[in-house]
Amino acid sequence: MANPPQDFECFLVRKTGESIASGVDRRPLRELPAGDVLIRVQWSSLNYKDALAATGHSGIVRRFPHVPGIDAAGIVAESSSPLYRAGDEVLSTGHELGVERWGGWAEYVRVPAEWVIPRPQGLTLEETMMLGTAGFTAAQCVAALAERNIVPESGPVVVTGATGGVGTIALKLLSKLGYEVAAVTGKPGERDWLLRQGAAETLTREEFLDTTTRPLLATRWAGGVDAVGGAALTTLVRSLKQRGCVAACGVAGGADLPLTVYPFILRGVALQGIDSAWCPEDRRREIWRRLSEEWRLDGLSELATTIRLADVPGSVREILEGRVRGRRVVRIQPG
């Protein structure tokens, strides 16, 4: 493999006073943070967290200039770790990537070796980013339900935010595993698309939400994956069946959770939070193994739209406005 260049292309977010500006730029390679493994990135992805970072959101970006991208997949260019050598195909997701340190929207990233995993053999580098943190999060949610003994025979399950990255992959994975899945969406026009992804039924946001203050609702769901938060999560917890479980991973609908203790002490339900950034490494590798083997999803390309770095601003606007369906994969450079 050729030696790395002196500089590299990236999507850079800058702050001058109170003004935020962003766009494609070139930066010296020496500006990358310290780490054991230098990766020549081929693919990244666009997640909601990345969109916030691209706007300079103070809850995500701590220092400027900044390169977003919590996902990266590519080829090792240099390594001081015995675990990896030049030419290895690898990926890195979560940790501080794209938040505390420069991320995957760049031709190169440098990270600690413990943040890197080999490309799962059942997936291409492009497919790992069609999944990315969204797919990894969705798979953790499904695993959380199974570990609470929520099986297909337990009854119907629900996925909120079903046209988003996490929701779409959770829907496909649950359907593949034999669950009866209801898909909740704020986009009624996507009903047919959701049915093709495996939904047994679709519900509009208005049909699903219950904004009353009743501590318990009629039982309906054996379990759920909530990628929205706020009123959606509150409704879901209150309508779980006995010993039900919801795996929660989103806040786009709000961070407040106005609940009583009654669902937990009268129905024995569980609320399982899903943390993808700092998932333990053994768990992380196991989830990726499943996604590449027994949980491997057909038709991933149908869920993904490929963009380049120059296309990122338009896609950022779309995801923040709730207009993205499925996944956005960022092609950094040719394979």
pLDDT in tens, the chain (335 residues): 678 889 999 999 999 998 999 999 999 999 999 999 999 999 999 999 999 999 999 999 989 999 999 999 999 999 999 999 999 999 999 999 999 999 999 999 999 999 999 999 999 999 999 999 999 999 999 999 999 999 999 999 999 999 999 999 999 999 999 999 999 999 999 999 999 999 999 999 999 999 999 999 999 999 999 999 999 999 999 999 999 999 999 998 999 999 999 999 999 999 999 999 999 999 999 999 999 999 999 999 999 999 999 999 999 999 999 899 999 999 998 64
Q: How do beta strands 221-226 and 201-204 pair?
A: unpaired
The tokens 């103070």 sit on which residue?
Answer: 58
Q: How do strand 19-28 and strand 37-46 relate by DSSP bridges? A: unpaired
CA-to-CA distance for 266 and 124, rounded, in angstroms? 46
The separation between the first and the last C-alpha atoms of the chain, rounded to the nearest angstrom, is 13
In sequence order, the β-bridge partners of residue 327 are 304
Peptide bond into 5 cis (omega under 30): no
Q: Give the right CATH number for 133-273 from 3.10.20.30, 3.40.50.720, 3.40.50.620, 1.10.1020.10.
A: 3.40.50.720
Place of tokens 């297909």: 152
pLDDT at site 334: 62
CA of residue 164 relative to chain centroid, distance: 9
- The CATH number given to 7-119+299-331 is 3.90.180.10
Whole-number pLDDT of residue 333: 83
Q: Which residue spans of the chain are classified as CATH 3.90.180.10?
A: 7-119+299-331
Angle CA 42–43–46, to nearest 5: 150
Distant-in-sequence, close-in-space partners of 208: CB < 8 Å, separation ≥ 6:
158, 160, 184, 232, 235
Structure token digits, residue 241: 């069946």
Q: What are 216's two structure tokens? A: 């318990």
Query: Measured between alpha carbons, how far is 217 from 207 in angstroms, rounded to an integer?
Result: 14
Mapping DSSP onto H, E and C, the string for the chain reads CCCCCCEEEEEEEEEECCEEEEEEEEEEHHHCCCCCEEEEEEEEEECHHHHHHHCCCCCCCCCCCECCCCEEEEEEEEECCCCCCCCCEEEEECCCECCCECCCCECEEEECHHHCEECCCCCCHHHHHHHHHHHHHHHHHHHHHHHCCCCHHHCCEEECCCCCHHHHHHHHHHHHCCCCEEEEECCHHHHHHHHHCCCCEEEEHHHHCCCCCCCCCCCCEEEEEECCCCHHHHHHHHCEEEEEEEEECCCCCCCCCCCCCHHHHHCCCEEEECCCCCCCHHHHHHHHHHHHCCCCCCCHHHHEEEECHHHHHHHHHHHHCCCCCCEEEEECCCC
Written as six digits, the tokens of 77 are 């260019």
**Contact call for residues 33 and 108 (beta carbons, < 8 A):** no
Give the pLDDT score at 3. 83
Tell me where in the chain the CATH 3.40.50.720 domain(s) lie.
133-273
